[in-house]
Amino acid sequence: MPLKSNGESGEITAQQTIQGWLKDIGSQLGRIPEDLSVLNGLVGATLTDGTVNDRKYLLEKIIQLACSLPHGSPGEKKLTGELLDILWTNLKHPPLSYMGDDWRYRTADGSNNNILYPDLGKAGSAYARSVVPQHAPPAALPDPASIFDALFARKGPAREHPAKFSSLAIAIATIIIHDIFRTDDVDPSKHASSAYLDLGPLYGHNAEQQKTIRTFQDGKIKPDAFAEPRLLGQPPGVCALIVSFNRFHNYVVQQLALINEAGRFSISVTVDPQDKAAYEKALAKRDNDLFQTGRLVTCGLYVNIILHDYVRVILNLNRSNTQWNLDPRVDSVNIFDPAGTPKGIGNQVSMEFNLIYRWHATVSDKNAKWLEGFFDKVFPGIDPETITQAEFMNRLKAWGHSIDSDPGKWTFGGLKRTATGGFDDSSLVKLLTEETEDVAGAFGARNIPVILKAVDVLGINQGRAWGAASLNEVRKFFKLKPHETFLEINPDPDVAASLEALYSHPDNVELYPGVSVEDTKPPLVPGSGLCSGLTIAKAILSDAVALVRGDRRVQHA
């Protein structure tokens, strides 16, 4: 407890404080020009975001001012505290960037993105829960198959996307979804992929999977190969698109080795070629440096495509004469927080977004037909509308086990590998062109191909097993007005009546069925190009910002 001036223990009185400040003022009567110089320097630093011209000796003048004040006075204490605060905040505590390959490159499983919490977002970690449910669900929830038949099933041709969204945009969305959402087969509370945009479908989600894609020579990966077998169950345009990233990676590492800036990828002259073990170790390091650098560059391209092509289409900016873009990487200062919006602090995917990112209504008629052929191959002689969940999972696992362990041998879309191990250029271009010209399906109720019934029933059951919050609870979390009537969820009287028959009250509507049948946003130029359900439209923008701004590799933090 501070001492009074008379030596007694107790609080400093208001009178003493006032007297202290008066002494401070009196001590400065002969230093008015010097103090004005300090004040001028502080104002200038404030106007330039804290940048100081050290040739004007502002720091030294502040020290001189502190020395001129009476020892122990309020002014001296205040000024010393402010100076300590400035000097402390000049450095990060603890440091958030380290030397060495473990921190320079992306790890295979996404660990080490956040320096302080290296397991944050790592493959194999638990899903986050964004919304803790408060509303007790009904004792008896509706049958998932009945939900699909009444609310999801497409009757006849697809409703086309109102903004003519290309199926190629859905292909990039499919890659993103398979990049950050891969539920663990053994423990569904965990995700087997990282929570970052690190092109896991191309490079693999862990070290073992990554080994299957690498050649371990000159940083290259196997020609036209990718590590994610789940993509073989997607329309061939998705596979053709991921192969494009494969080719870009191999082009990048070839150019890196050719340019070899500052000898970065040369074998050190200190390594004796006659020492086989040392030379092979040096070659392995060169290969890894090229591979990891090429991966960083390719992931950078991937993020730029997402932000400057995909997100622009989502917001219909491509139809507007504007250069504005929603890029989470920009530096921004919050007027209520001088430190600004945090960045590079890591990310963790949530189970709610796993359910939100199931955009099966966008499957076009062309791609639905392809899925029917795939279903016939994996589930021969089985009706997709009556297959049981257990049979669906068992057959799907059997198909997964039948896939060759070498991704360099996989084929898709009727393509055949050439003698060099890759695919014919014109065949890939044809697949990408067809996907680009194919209009996606529209979001909303009753537009999901019947061939996906088993997949959607599985999704509904998964949401229940996770104990996901309701649609309205998630809307409240995103500061959106909760639906008070079924007609607010979907203005189609027939759909609203089906919802009411199944759920009896809007608060009972589950998250996945809710976002799948919710009323959709119209095309707005600019503003709305995805034309998704109301909740999806807000949620995916929040997720995009979290994915990009939280990634240290993207932010170069």
pLDDT tens profile 388-412: 999 999 999 999 999 999 999 999 9
What's the one-letter identity of residue 147? I
Is position 6 within any domain?
no
Q: Around Cβ 377, how many Cβ atoms within 10 Å? A: 9
Which tokens hold the place of 394?
A: 């068992």
Tally the domains of the chain. Answer: 2
Are residues 150 and 83 located together in one domain of the fold?
Answer: no
Q: Per-residue pLDDT for 5 more than 60?
A: no
pLDDT, position 7 = 46
Are residues 189 and 69 located together in one domain of the fold?
Answer: no
374 or 11: whose pLDDT is higher? Answer: 374
Are residues 60 and 154 located together in one domain of the fold?
Answer: no
Are residues 537 and 448 located together in one domain of the fold?
Answer: yes
Are residues 71 and 217 located together in one domain of the fold?
Answer: no
Locus of tokens 């029933």 = 457
Is position 479 within any domain?
yes
pLDDT tens for each residue of 93-141: 777 777 888 888 999 999 999 888 899 999 999 999 999 999 999 999 9
Instruction: Confirm if 338 and 185 have CB atoms less than 8 A apart.
Output: no
Are residues 84 and 161 located together in one domain of the fold?
Answer: no
287 phi/psi in degrees, rounded to 5 = -60, -45
Which tokens hold the place of 486?
A: 């079924």
pLDDT tens for each residue of 461-474: 999 999 999 999 99
64 or 155: whose pLDDT is higher? Answer: 155
What contacts 219, CB < 8 A, 6 or more positions away?
A: 253, 256, 257, 286, 287, 288, 289, 290, 291, 292, 293, 294
Which tokens hold the place of 291?
A: 């591979």
Q: Per-residue pLDDT for 6 more than 50?
A: no
Locus of tokens 């068992």 = 394
Q: Per-residue pLDDT for 209 more than 60?
A: yes
Structure confidence at residue 339 as a pLDDT band (50, 70, 90): low
Are residues 78 and 149 located together in one domain of the fold?
Answer: no
268 phi/psi in degrees, rounded to 5 = -60, 140
Which tokens hold the place of 227?
A: 């590590």
pTM above 0.85, yes or no: yes
Is position 136 within any domain?
no
pLDDT, position 465 = 97
Are residues 370 and 446 located together in one domain of the fold?
Answer: yes
Are residues 329 and 219 located together in one domain of the fold?
Answer: yes
Which of 89, 108, 136 is the endpoint of a domain? 89
Are residues 207 and 330 located together in one domain of the fold?
Answer: yes
Helix (H, G, I), strand (E, B), or coil: what is residue 504?
coil
Is position 114 within any domain?
no
Are residues 81 and 154 located together in one domain of the fold?
Answer: no
Which tokens hold the place of 40?
A: 């001028």
pLDDT tens for each residue of 53-79: 888 778 888 888 778 878 888 878 888
Residues with catalytic annotation? Answer: 357
Is position 303 within any domain?
yes
In whole angstroms, how large is the CA radius of gyration of the chain? Answer: 30
Distance CA 348, CA 125 (A): 9
Say whether 249 counts as a known binding-site residue.
Answer: no
- The helix or strand, by DSSP H or E, that contains position 370, with its residue range, turns out to be helix 365-378
pLDDT, position 335 = 40
Distance CA 48, CA 478 (A): 35
Is position 120 within any domain?
no
Most distant CA atoms of the chain, gap in Å: 98
Q: What are the DSSP E strand ranges found in 413-528?
A: none
Are residues 510 and 406 located together in one domain of the fold?
Answer: yes
Which tokens hold the place of 116?
A: 């302080």
Distance CA 222, CA 422 (A): 8
Is position 336 within any domain?
yes
Which of 89, 123, 153 is the endpoint of a domain? 89
Which of 49, 67, 89 is the endpoint of a domain? 89
End-to-end CA distance of the chain: 42
Is position 3 within any domain?
no
Instruction: Confirm if 470 and 509 have CB atoms less than 8 A apart.
Output: yes
Note the helical H segments in 204-339. 207-211, 236-259, 276-305, 311-314
Q: Per-residue pLDDT for 423 more than 90?
A: yes
406 phi/psi in degrees, rounded to 5 = -100, 105
Burial 220-254 (b: 16+ CB within 10 A, else e): bbbbbbbbbbebbbbbbbbbbbbbbbbbbbbebbe
What's the one-letter identity of residue 436? T
| Domain limits for position 171 | 144-555
Helix (H, G, I), strand (E, B), or coil: what is residue 439?
strand
Mean pLDDT, rounded, for 417-442: 97
Distance CA 341, CA 330 (A): 10
Distance CA 212, CA 172 (A): 23
- The helix or strand, by DSSP H or E, that contains position 58, with its residue range, turns out to be helix 58-68
CATH number of the domain enclosing 183:
1.10.640.10
Distance CA 209, CA 228 (A): 9
